Amino acid sequence: MIYQAPSPLKNMGLRFLLVCCGFMTVYIIFIALISIKVGITHLHQDGFWMPLLAGSITIIVFLWLFLCLLRFILNQMKDKDIINV
């Protein structure tokens, strides 16, 4: 059986996709942190908990999605393109 390394173009594309998704995740987490800050600075108003809850849920969901995508992409980069005949 002959081992063929994955093409470098595939790995570069997957790394680029991972970096783009990382930047998007960081941006969304930044917006969620601003939402949490707004909720904390307006503790005296009714409904102050809504920005806190929305920001917290957003951070949790997008970190979970990014970690799942990271695991998938790393598995694709390690994948061997071997055809058994």
Considering the domain boundaries, does residue 3 fall inside one? no
Give the residue with greater pLDDT, 75 vs 63: 63
pTM of the model: 0.78
For the chain, the domain total comes to: 1
Q: What's 81's DSSP letter?
A: -
Considering the domain boundaries, does residue 1 fall inside one? no
Range with lowest mean pLDDT among 4-8, 29-33, 66-70? 4-8
Kindly report, residue by residue over 12-27, the tens digit of the pLDDT.
888 999 999 999 999 9
What string of DSSP letters covers 36-61? HHHHHHTTTSTTTHHHHHHHHHHHHH
Considering the domain boundaries, does residue 42 fall inside one? yes
Considering the domain boundaries, does residue 83 fall inside one? no
Considering the domain boundaries, does residue 19 fall inside one? yes
Query: What's the pLDDT at 85?
Result: 43
Residue matched to tokens 């969304």: 28
Residue matched to tokens 């594309």: 13
Considering the domain boundaries, does residue 85 fall inside one? no
Considering the domain boundaries, does residue 67 fall inside one? yes
Q: Which domain holds residue 55?
A: 11-78
Considering the domain boundaries, does residue 4 fall inside one? no
